[in-house]
């Protein structure tokens, strides 16, 4: 979603994950707008809930997919950290290389 900053006038893109989280926040908290931070001047720009709903019609399915992917990532991360903890043992001491004598 393209948004023009009300302060610096530059265009910036609201990424899909932020938009889905914004839609979830709007629906659950009953907010009238979402404050999208400008990527150039870092100031918050109001994006109305009507505009967000028009842009993201089927946002519930996208949000559920995003949550599902996050859960899968957490499971993989836990498995990798467990595997790293098991593999972590005493470090192998490296032998010093001798310089050949002439």
Q: How many residues does the chain have?
A: 102
> What would the pLDDT profile of 28-77 be if each residue is shown by its tens digit?
998 899 999 999 999 999 999 999 999 988 889 988 999 999 999 999 99
Cβ–Cβ < 8 Å for 47, 96: no
DSSP H or E segment with residue 47: strand 44-48
Cβ–Cβ < 8 Å for 38, 78: no
> What would the pLDDT profile of 16-30 be if each residue is shown by its tens digit?
888 998 899 899 998
Rg (CA), the chain: 24
Crossing angle of helices 16-29 and 59-87, in 10° steps, is: 110
């Amino acid at each position: 979603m393209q948004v023009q900053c009300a302060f610096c006038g530059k265009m910036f893109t609201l990424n899909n994950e932020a938009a889905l989280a914004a839609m979830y926040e709007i629906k659950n908290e009953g907010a009238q707008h979402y404050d999208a931070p400008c990527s150039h001047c870092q100031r918050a720009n109001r994006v109305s809930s009507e505009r967000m709903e028009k842009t993201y019609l089927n946002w519930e399915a996208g949000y559920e997919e995003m949550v599902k992917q996050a859960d899968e990532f957490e499971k993989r991360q836990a498995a990798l950290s467990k595997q790293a903890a098991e593999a972590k043992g005493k470090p192998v001491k490296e032998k010093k290389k001798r310089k050949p004598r002439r």
